[in-house]
Chains A and B, each alone.
Chain A
Amino acid sequence: MSIRYAAVKWNRNKRIYDCVLAAGIVLYLGLFFLVGKLAWEGRPGISDEVLLIRALGTCAFLLLHVVLCIGPLARFDRRFLPLLYNRRHLGVATFTVGLFHGALATGYYHAFGRLNPLVSLLSTNTHYDSLTTFPFETLGVLALVILFLMAATSHDFWLKNLSPSVWKALHMLVYPAYGLLVMHVTLGALHSEDSMVYVVLVGLGVTTVVGLHLAAGWRERLRDRRQPGPEEKSNGERWIEVCSVDEIPENRAKVVCLDGCERVAVFRYGGRISAVTNVCAHQRGPLGEGKIIDGCITCPWHGWEYRPENGQSPPPFQERIATFRVRVKGRRILLDLHPLPPGTPVEPARIEEPLHDRTRANAE
């Protein structure tokens, strides 16, 4: 983010991710078309164009469910983190498929009159006061506008220029967009289909997305409310005991959540302990859930790197994060909760090896 921009910084993982995504979309559309042909054979009003409109619409709706579930799932289980890595490509794919659905539906149902198709789409049905005949198309158009805004600003160029906070706030519009799409589907497709299968499928999707977000939010709230460990005061400074050295695996971190404070990631590496803020400078990813690779803390979301001893990205990058003073007393780790300015070097605390380990090492 701090040196130069490229349209997409391709690497092997991104190529695999995008190939799987594209293949998945094509496979879904093909399968939907084939199954739809068999299931709705001889039914009036189900032409190939209508089948394609339905395939594209359901595909975009399904993709949006996946996009929305990745975040909370990754909080519950680390195995979902690889999906998070390239989530923006998934979002752009969702918008693109949705756009094709919208364009095809508008062309098919509104292009043969005298009015401009878009004008016809928005002005033919104005029964906003009736749920039964509500112009559900308008809801789809609104959701598509939001998805367009997000796809257009998905690049790191916008993230840097809008600032991560504004960018995050803008991209949280995906939630209202999801609400609009649920209503678009409910008042549109579910009103025209008698089968309960579609109702159950959409209901399952809504319950999963809402349930996962509420559960993840509740879990994070409980973590944030943890009480601090015993305090120690020396030279007027407050040191909080956070955990034992043995609780942290090598090259990993323990995330310290204390009531009223920002989270801190305490890393153990090569017999040393360092502490930095848990918030990545890029997209606010949880650094403490990442690991140390080649001497750098690596963010689990997009692989941004920081040196644990000073919170600085390795050159030529210039990102910096706050560091914390840390001490090791016996096997206990003590932390000064006051963050130091981003990029401040802090001497890592040395881990005192237990006596029996030292004796064994000397014997060897």
Chain B
Amino acid sequence: MTRNHRRWHAWLWLLLGPLIVAGFVVGLLARPSPVFEPARFSDPEEAKKSDTKPQPREVVP
């Protein structure tokens, strides 16, 4: 490698390295929190409501 290329390489990693690590960390922080669904029809009242709920229409793109 030429001296110039080594310099370019070093500067690129000095800039890109922290950027990649920061992107990774920020990406992880933005992870959606896990959704816990309640057990279906555990409550008889809820089950009754569910039966009467209108079903969503199927959307064809």
Contact = CB atoms under 8 A, between A and B. Distances in A.
Given A113-B61, A183-B23, A217 B2 contact: no
A280 to B, nearest CB: 9
B19 interface: yes
Contacts of B30: 131-132, 134, 187, 191
A224 B28 contact: no
A177 B2 CA distance: 23
Interface stretch (A11-19, A206-214, A335-343, A344-352): A206-214
Interface stretch (A26-34, A168-176, A311-319): A168-176
Given A131-B26, A172-B12, A210 B34 contact: no
Interface residues of A, number: 41
Contact of A191 (B6, B14, B32): B32
Interface in B13-44: 13-14, 16-21, 23-24, 26-28, 30-32, 34
A104 interface: no
B23 A175 contact: no
A182 interface: yes
B16 A262 contact: no
Given A206-B20, A213-B17, A214-B14, A183 B34 contact: no
A113 B30 CA distance: 30
A350 to B, nearest CB: 31
A206 B13 CA distance: 12
B28 to A, nearest CB: 6
A224 B1 contact: no
Contacts of A279: 1-2
Q: Please classify how large the interface on chain B is, using the bins under 10, 10 to 19, 20 to 34, 35 or more.
A: 20 to 34
A149 interface: no
A178 B14 CA distance: 15
Given A182-B23, A203-B24, A221-B10, A194 B34 contact: yes
A132 B30 CA distance: 5
Contacts of B49: none
A179 B23 contact: yes
B20 A217 contact: no
Nearest to B6: A220
A115 interface: yes
Nearest to B18: A210
Given A115-B61, A132-B32, A186-B24, 15 more contacts: A172-B8, A175-B12, A176-B16, A179-B23, A190-B31, A191-B30, A202-B24, A203-B24, A206-B21, A214-B13, A217-B9, A217-B10, A263-B3, A284-B2, A285-B1
Interface of B: 1-3, 5-6, 8-10, 12-14, 16-21, 23-24, 26-28, 30-32, 34, 61
The 10 closest A-B pairs by CB, nearest first: A186-B27, A131-B30, A217-B10, A210-B17, A213-B13, A113-B61, A179-B20, A284-B1, A132-B30, A220-B6
27 contacts: A131-B27, A131-B30, A132-B31, A172-B8, A172-B9, A172-B12, A175-B12, A176-B16, A179-B16, A179-B23, A183-B23, A183-B27, A186-B24, A186-B27, A191-B27, A194-B34, A210-B13, A210-B20, A213-B9, A213-B13, A217-B6, A217-B10, A220-B6, A221-B6, A284-B1, A284-B2, A285-B1
